Amino acid sequence: MRIVCIGQAAFGEKVLQALIERGEEVVGIYTPPDISGKTNPFKQLALHSGLPVFQPRLMRAPEVYDEYIKLKPDLNVMAFVSSILPDSILNYPKMGTIQYHPSLLPKHRGGSAINWAIIKGETKTGITIFWPDKGIDTGPILLQKETEISPDDTVGSLYFNRLFPFGIEAIVESIDLIKTGTAPRIPQDESQANYEPLCTEKHTRINWSEPASKTYNLIRGTNPQPGAITYFRKKWLKVFDSELLAGSQGGIPGGVVDVTGDGFVIAAKQGNISVMKVQVEGSPKMRASEFAQEVGLKVGDRFDS
């Protein structure tokens, strides 16, 4: 079976590596154009393996299709794809196209599925391999794997520890099902569907007057990107590594109630937040203890919403 692999970054690389190690016939890869100063491990593995690499700016360009069909693919495998492919490419292979998505579709459609599941305080998520169509994450489901979201998971820990390896395993399993002609096409239940926008800085402002548990979910649901934003002395500060001190009381919401060797503690409603890693506007991430020392942070100082 001739496979075209479409993807990028570490996930694309590991999917491609798994396909190569299984002896699958990968006939080419598609990945976004290079970004100055950044490496694309997916592309590097393909070049090292002697595979044709294509990097069109727009997958919808007519010349892309003309080039693509020369590969004579039987299946497209989409591994971390952030653009919508045209129907002409999705539907060309006789075996179709499969795609990975880091949620239990139809919940959390969109490009920030992991962020929103954690921000909303959910305790369960998973991955879906589905047959993409012209909608956004709306095609029939082939396979799903479920996992818990632990109380202290961040986007980074949930993705790299579970959703990343689950995705690779599921793609391999899906290809086996396709080969044997037993791969299902289960329609998504539209009554359970929700679509969410990309999680950006406009969604991540901290309101210290809200329950500490909600603030903690926001912080871990935006760690490592895009970061939960508060303000200190009229400059924004992004909060990353943190700990929920449930039930702790004392202090005005947003007020510093303790400065420790690891960082500092901020008061919220029905609990406090211990902050261990931050990013000051215009600077790289740093330990919260360094920030506290640099600005002379003390008990009684206040962070604004």
- The pLDDT tens digits along the chain (305 residues) read 999 999 999 999 999 999 999 999 999 999 999 998 899 999 999 999 999 999 999 999 999 999 999 999 999 999 999 888 999 999 999 999 999 999 999 999 999 999 999 999 999 999 999 999 999 999 999 999 999 999 999 999 999 999 999 999 999 999 999 999 999 999 999 999 999 999 999 999 999 999 999 999 999 999 999 999 999 999 999 999 999 998 877 789 999 999 999 999 999 999 999 999 999 988 999 999 999 999 999 999 999 98
Do residues 173 and 218 share a domain?
Answer: no
Q: What is the dihedral of CA 215, 217, 221, 223, to 10 degrees?
A: 60
Do residues 15 and 141 share a domain?
Answer: yes
| 301 domain residue, yes or no | no
**What residues make up the domain containing 164?**
2-192
E strand or H helix that includes residue 213 = helix 212-220
How far does Cα 14 stand from its chain's mean position? 16
Other C-beta atoms lying within 10 Å of the C-beta of residue 253: 18
pLDDT at site 17: 98
| 118 domain residue, yes or no | yes
CATH number of residue 17's parent domain: 3.40.50.170
Do residues 66 and 181 share a domain?
Answer: yes
Do residues 108 and 19 share a domain?
Answer: yes
pLDDT at site 84: 84
Is residue 297 a contact partner of residue 256, using CB atoms and an 8 Å limit? yes
| 305 domain residue, yes or no | no
| 60 domain residue, yes or no | yes
Report in angstroms the alpha-carbon separations of 48 from 2, 17, 80, 131.
19, 11, 20, 29
Q: What is the dihedral of CA 227, 228, 231, 232, to 10 degrees?
A: -70
| 184 domain residue, yes or no | yes
Number of domains in the chain: 2
Alpha-carbon distance of 260 to 42, in angstroms, equals 42
Reduced to 3 states (helix: H, G, I; strand: E, B; else coil), residue 219 is helix
pLDDT at site 101: 97
Q: Residue 175: what are its φ and ψ, rounded to 5°? A: -60, -40
pLDDT at site 251: 86
Q: Residue 66: what are its φ and ψ, rounded to 5°? A: -60, -35
Residue type, 226: P
| 42 domain residue, yes or no | yes
Do residues 179 and 207 share a domain?
Answer: no
Do residues 151 and 255 share a domain?
Answer: no
Is residue 96 a contact partner of residue 3, using CB atoms and an 8 Å limit? no
Do residues 108 and 157 share a domain?
Answer: yes
Do residues 124 and 21 share a domain?
Answer: yes
